[in-house]
Amino acid sequence: MPDTPTPELPPLIGTFVGAMHRGDVAAMLACLAPDIHLTRIDDGQVTAEARGLSAVAALIGHEMQAPTRRGWELREIRSAGETTLVEIAVVEHPGPGIERRSRGAVSFRLRPDGLIQRLVEEV
């Protein structure tokens, strides 16, 4: 993929809603950027507001972390109009000395009401 500058999203606040284990909430609070703030936490459901692609990347990255032996690498974030494409590489360690890599993409659309809506997962 070409090395092009990543454009920022329009200066709108988007809302991300994700289901998380209660243990993940503390981790999220520890890694919040200044442009991310939580608006609600209840029953493992977290609602957060984000401004700009760096904030969206942090939220998406946290969502993708699962209590398994998988890791992820954020490869690229591109924005075209209202749609943001996030490309990831997933690294799986099924056993000692074994590593498998796969790539996927997640597309998000910034809706007119400010919500960030997931469109496609692992294309």
Q: How confident is the model over 62-72, as pLDDT tens digits? A: 555 544 434 55
Distances in Å between the alpha carbon of 91 and those of 80, 83, 98, 102?
27, 26, 10, 7
- DSSP helix/strand/coil, 41: strand
* Least confident piece of the model among 58-62, 67-71, 82-86, 104-108: 67-71
Give me 68's structure tokens: 């398994």
Alpha-carbon span 123 to 113, nearest angstrom: 26
Q: How confident is the model over 20-67, as pLDDT tens digits? A: 444 444 444 445 444 555 555 555 445 555 555 555 555 555 555 544
